[in-house]
Chains A and B, each alone.
Chain A
Amino acid sequence: MESQAAFTSSTSWCINGSCATAIFQDLYRLHKISSVLQKSSVALQEISVNASIASDHSGHGSKVFKEIAKQIGLLSVLLNDEIKKMDSHLSIMIKSLLQVIGKLSRKRKLIRCMNFLGPSKNYMHVYNVQETLGLEVDVTLDETHAELVFMKIELERFKQLVNRVWSIEISLRVSATTVHSGDEIFYLSIAEAMKSMATETSVVLDDVAKLNNSVDIRLINRCGCIKGVKNGL
């Protein structure tokens, strides 16, 4: 799991376009952490299977228990769908940032060329091309920001689904007090497994949200070096 330091280490602004690289690195960390969420969905699926098996052994509450197992299974499917959507947004953002880094590198080289070129038609041509590259970078970063907003929406949906996991866990614990003697052990063990899964997932979600915010701030405060206007380019 990423440490807190990972989120704070890259808050200072950069020289020579490295803030674009920092955004890329944040996105890459986000990609790595998000893949951990996949495990949550798998864990929930396993809980659903276990609950289904347990329902065969529970007495009078078998029907209710089967329904609970079914609901948990559906929840794991929904979580998986959200993960896929987040992953898709992240892939687009990472690809865009790679393009941005490539274009910024070209832009910096062209700006260096301008130092060699005297006032001439060629100077103006190089100037215009590097300006165009800057505009393209800006547009791509705007598109990246839009993807980030979409990803935030998916993240909120994911959180809501995790809240449902918590609700089912509480329901199971309450039900455990009302079922026939002997059956409560099934309810409580499934509730415990769900609690464990939801706790771990919530920690990861906090990290994802922090990185998300970090990228958000970087994309809002695009510094001059991203646009190629300062830091000795």
Chain B
Amino acid sequence: MVSKKLYDDGTHEWIVFGRDPSKPNSVIDTNEYLIISSGQAMMMDPGGSEIFPAVLSEVSRLVDIKQIKQYLCSHQDPDIMSSLPLWMSLTPEAKIYVSWLWGGFIAHFGSSYVNQFISVPDSGLDIKLGSTTLQLIPAHFLHSSGNFHLYDPKAKILFSGDVGSAIVPENYPFFVEDFMSHISLMEPFHMRWMPSNEAKNKWIRHIRKLNVEMICPQHGAIMRGVQVKLFLDWFEALEVGKTKE
């Protein structure tokens, strides 16, 4: 498992984890993100149980595990959060932000930590981590019917879940180097997994109003700087909700 620091102003950090060479081939590669702010940490989409040992060991190089106070599950998929029972056995006091729509479903993983769920309303939520306020941005139907992204106004980073994701080859760089060629890796994923053009365009209108300098998806590579606008323009023009035939 490789990690890379995306932002660090001394008290506030963003780190991405991914490109795990030890993961079984049958498991899709994922990116996990950690924010550390004034000694408190939050994990976004902590990942599947298959990669838990690798993620834990990498996270553990950076923080005391007990510092993890919050988890965001952007949606309900197993690659997003099937490791949650394991994380919660290590951090039983941590809060789990999840769409109100999924709480009762996720509880099937084991109900002992249900009390730690914070049901996020459809409109989103501002949450406090250390000295920072983070924004949970509605991203419903992108692709899940109850879906949230996270925007950090301080770091100007948007954690975008499956939006911006791409199925990339092994050892693909963490950052997109050539946006135009990266499109071919994103396009099939977005066409198939994003079911609604209406939801997509609503999300794009919302994101354009934010001051985003980096888009961090759960699969694939991170887009930054001018690539953010390029991505939003490309995504806006893309017709989604169809198979590539």
Contact = CB atoms under 8 A, between A and B. Distances in A.
Q: Do A and B come from one complex?
A: yes
Interface of A: 102, 106, 109-110, 112-113, 115-117, 120-123, 125-126, 129, 133
A109 B86 contact: yes
Contact of B89 (A112, A116, A122, A133): A133
22 contacts: A102-B85, A106-B89, A109-B52, A109-B53, A109-B86, A110-B86, A110-B89, A110-B90, A113-B53, A113-B56, A116-B56, A117-B60, A120-B60, A122-B64, A125-B65, A125-B66, A125-B90, A126-B56, A126-B65, A129-B89, A129-B90, A133-B89
A102 B110 CA distance: 9
Given A116-B57, A123-B60, 18 more contacts: A102-B85, A106-B86, A109-B49, A109-B86, A110-B89, A112-B53, A113-B53, A113-B56, A113-B57, A116-B56, A117-B60, A121-B64, A122-B65, A125-B90, A126-B65, A126-B90, A129-B90, A133-B89
A156 B86 CA distance: 42
Most chain A beta carbons < 10 A, residue from B52, B86, B90: B90
B54 interface: yes
A116 B54 CA distance: 7
A117 B49 contact: no
A125 B92 CA distance: 12
Interface in B143-158: none
Contacts of A115: 53
Nearest to A99: B110
Most chain A beta carbons < 10 A, residue from B49, B60, B64, B110: B60
Q: How large is the interface on B (under 10, 10 to 19, 20 to 34, 35 or more residues)?
A: 10 to 19
Contacts of B110: 102
Interface in B46-101: 49, 52-54, 56-57, 60, 64-66, 85-86, 89-90
A227 to B, nearest CB: 17
A121 B65 CA distance: 9
Contacts of B89: 106, 110, 129, 133
B89 to A, nearest CB: 6
Nearest to B50: A109
Contacts of B60: 117, 120, 122-123
A121 B52 CA distance: 18
B191 to A, nearest CB: 35
Nearest to A107: B89
B63 to A, nearest CB: 8
B83 to A, nearest CB: 8
Contacts of B52: 109, 113
B22 to A, nearest CB: 9
B53 A116 contact: yes
A127 to B, nearest CB: 11
A112 B49 CA distance: 12
Interface in B110-137: 110
A123 B60 CA distance: 9
Contacts of A129: 89-90
A117 B57 CA distance: 6
Contacts of B90: 110, 125-126, 129
Contacts of A133: 89
